[in-house]
Chains A and B, each alone.
Chain A
Amino acid sequence: MTLVQVIINGVLLGGVYALFAAGLNMIVGVMRVINLAHGELMMLGAYTTFMLFSLAHVNPLLSIPASAALMLILGMALQRLMVERVVRQPLLSSLLLTFGLSTLFLGVALNVWTGDQRSVSYLSGSLSVGGLQISVVRMVAFAVAVALTGATFLFLRCSTFGKTIRATAQHPDAAQACGIDVTRVRMVTFGIGSALAAAAGSLVSMMFTFNPEIGQAFLPKAFAVIVLGGLGSFVGALLGALVLGVSETVAGYFSSGQRAESVAFVILIVMLMIRPAGLFGTNE
């Protein structure tokens, strides 16, 4: 495997990271809630695809809308029933709440699906381009991820509801004074964020073997991406995701898969050290 191929693999991986981080980015931006259960929402998306595939033989790509829709509903319900109650409280309340939710979902998933490794075998071949072997499923996943991230970006940028979301992110009180139903905006935002996580989960289920703990493995990656790219900046987050993906595969190429795992943590910690507080866009 040449270095060029490793870098291409990293870019393809980065696309999925971008999609996963985009949802978290929206939630943090709009309601200043660092959703520690975001990884578990992704994990539930992965299992939705897995269940549909293994029980009903649904094409994994076609199951993406299903898993996104399910998590959209779950996310909106979570926000309405729980997160909304702590939005106006200090950040730590929501941090602990979502930490509890993450533990709860993980426990439930381990109960239902056990800790066994699962996989969805789909498009397992690879394409040969100019001497490089590129996995088909990774290319498809990259394309879908970039398309969904781009669609979300356009939705926020151009649609009226997207504008109300951005307004709420900028200044909730002013947004409310302008007649925006910020409670509803927060609910929909949490739903969309969860749906994006679920879509990323569905893609991940085709690329890797996974078990319920995959959400915990992916969450730090989303933090690293957001910290690299900057809060609320979609383009920045996309670049951050590509940087993370490539750094990980290159580290894995020169060292071991285990050390590659540490890349996200190193980026996260170093960035927070160099630019504390400013990175999530709030200064308390």
Chain B
Amino acid sequence: MIDPPHAAPSVTEELSAVPESGSGSTAVARLPDNRALRAQQWNTLLPKTYVILLALTVIWIVVFPQVAPLYYVSLALVVLLTVVLGVSWNIISGYTGYISFGHAGFFGIGSYIGALLIAHNLTAWWLAAIVAGVGTALLALPMGALTLRLRGPYFAITMFGLSELARIIVSSWDSLTGGGAGLYLPFLEDRTSNFYAMGILAVVAISVAYLIATSGLGLKLMCIREDEVAAQTLGVNTTWYKIGAFALSAFFPGVAGAVYARQIGYIDPITVFGVIWSIRAVATTMFGGQGTIIGPILGGIVLTLASEWAWAENAFAYQIVFGGLIVLVVLFMPGGVMRLLELRGWIPRTRQL
């Protein structure tokens, strides 16, 4: 099996946690009653909580740039960006269990599609960002069709290879991309629109992740993670679900890359295809808890703020922070913060978290 034993609620266990009406179910009898009940209470409470949190987040996104100093707005943009990377990586790697080291490739491809459209004034910038996302997702389809046949580590390494290959293609395609010299975008007086764009993207990404996780689609993806052969036997067309989840997880870094390019005004292959974007996605999700909704959000916020603090201390410290955290999480906290809370009994096992 390719799946780490720590990864989030197992499907069967969760299903058995739902009390069944009708003749005395053995599934419920196996669990302590209060736990099954508590999970049910949480499950009715959580959707409402999410709606309230969503509304608060939207209000925060609208108000924050009006009141906060410029530095904090751009910091918040990076937080949102990291959340987007983590949440989207989690769709393929957290739920389906296919760990990818290629998120940087999607980020870079999206950056270049968006930057080229904006620099040549071909479309409105927001449309350019959407086109970048769709284009990245479309490119991910054949990539996924090729690589998702590979299991575990082979997939991870091949994705890393494809991401690097994309960087090399972009930097040697001088006539289109300007090669290693990079690409300049028009100077922006007011960058608030970028913050709004990233905010909307984060909200959409989280909502999509929630819808996936709590639907039958999520169950099928988790089935693939738990036991792909069994999922196939049960009639899940694993190939299509994997490729679909993969393309969806590529859409978000694509859009984010375009917005990021517009925000910083200059991109070159080494920056936007840098392994650090993959590291961000992996580290934040692992820290928060892979295969959970909250995990990558939590990780994105905590790790970005921590690395920003580290950055102020020392320019390379953020790599030490991210690397060290991944090591510590694998060794001592497999499953991340969410799993830790779950083991403590502070939160129940539910797909809604």
Contacts and interface: CB of A to CB of B under 8 A. Distances in A.
Interface of A: 34, 82, 85-86, 89-93, 95-97, 99-108, 110-111, 216, 220, 223, 256, 258-259, 261-262, 265-266, 268-269, 272-273, 276-277, 279-280, 284
Nearest to A100: B326
Contact of A102 (B3, B99, B323, B331): B323
Contact of A96 (B168, B314, B321, B326): B326
A264 B90 CA distance: 29
Contact of A107 (B282, B320, B331): B320
A256 B169 CA distance: 12
Contacts of A107: 316-323
B154 A101 contact: no
Nearest to B275: A216
Interface of B: 1-5, 99, 101, 146, 149-154, 156-158, 160-162, 164-165, 168-169, 171-172, 180, 275, 279, 282-283, 286, 314-327, 329-331, 334
Contact of A103 (B2, B5, B160, B326): B326
B321 to A, nearest CB: 8
A228 to B, nearest CB: 14
Given A34-B153, A262-B168, 8 more contacts: A90-B3, A91-B152, A96-B286, A97-B331, A100-B325, A101-B323, A104-B323, A107-B320
B82 to A, nearest CB: 15
A147 to B, nearest CB: 30
B334 A93 contact: yes
Contacts of A265: 161-162, 164-165, 168
19 contacts: A89-B4, A93-B330, A97-B331, A99-B326, A100-B283, A102-B323, A104-B324, A104-B327, A106-B319, A107-B318, A107-B319, A220-B164, A256-B172, A262-B164, A262-B168, A265-B164, A269-B165, A276-B149, A280-B153
Contacts of B158: 268-269, 272
Contacts of B275: 216
B1 A97 contact: no
Contacts of A97: 326-327, 330-331
Given A96-B326, A100-B324, A104-B324, A111 B152 contact: no
B323 A96 contact: no
B143 to A, nearest CB: 10
Given A96-B99, A99-B101, A262-B168, A110 B330 contact: no
A101 B2 contact: no
B316 A111 contact: yes
B102 to A, nearest CB: 11
Given A102-B323, A284-B2, A92 B153 contact: yes
A269 B155 CA distance: 10
Nearest to A269: B161
Contacts of A96: 99, 282, 286, 326, 330
B172 A258 contact: yes
Contacts of B283: 100
B152 A284 contact: yes
B227 to A, nearest CB: 12
A108 B319 CA distance: 8
Contact of B150 (A85, A91, A277): A277
